[in-house]
Homo-oligomer: A and B are copies of this chain.
Amino acid sequence: MFADAVGYRLRRAHLSVMQNFNETLAAKGLRPADFALLMLLTKNSGLKQSEVAQALGVQRANFVAIVDGLEQRGFVERRKSEVDRRVQSLYLTPEGFAYLDEIRPVWQGYEQRITELLGGPEASAELCALLGRLYTEG
């Protein structure tokens, strides 16, 4: 059947769980792409800008605007590579970490609702493991 397509289901599930979350995040002045970028840098501080843009599936023009905004708020920092000065890497600042901590109740409540929909922490861990096979951590 058409609608059994994994890709289609990924899209539907992603959009469904994001809608609620995005409204909550927006109230905190954060767009989904901002949040995804901050989350990505928690595990991958120092990634090249081009790698971050690709991992997040963001177009170049939008990407520059996102990083500009987060840099102005002091959450991320661009640093030129020592090896190649044309390459810039991105770092999460202590303020960025503190901000994610501050909004932790928001995304943890959201995680909690997803876990309930899935049927418990075991199902949630299973889903995380399967999803993790579909992209490289960067």
Contacts and interface: CB of A to CB of B under 8 A. Distances in A.
Interface in A94-138: 100, 107, 110-111, 114-115, 117-119, 123-124, 126-128, 130-137
Contact of A117 (B13, B19, B21, B134): B134
B131 A13 contact: yes
Given A2-B42, A126-B130, A130-B130, A135 B13 contact: yes
A50 B114 CA distance: 24
A42 B133 contact: no
A137 to B, nearest CB: 8
Contacts of A39: 2-3, 5, 8
A16 interface: yes
Nearest to A92: B2
A52 to B, nearest CB: 12
A134 B40 contact: no
B18 A11 contact: yes
Interface of A: 1-19, 21, 32, 35-36, 39-40, 42-43, 55-57, 100, 107, 110-111, 114-115, 117-119, 123-124, 126-128, 130-137
Given A7-B114, A13-B131, 11 more contacts: A2-B42, A3-B43, A6-B114, A7-B18, A7-B21, A8-B39, A9-B132, A10-B17, A11-B18, A11-B36, A15-B56
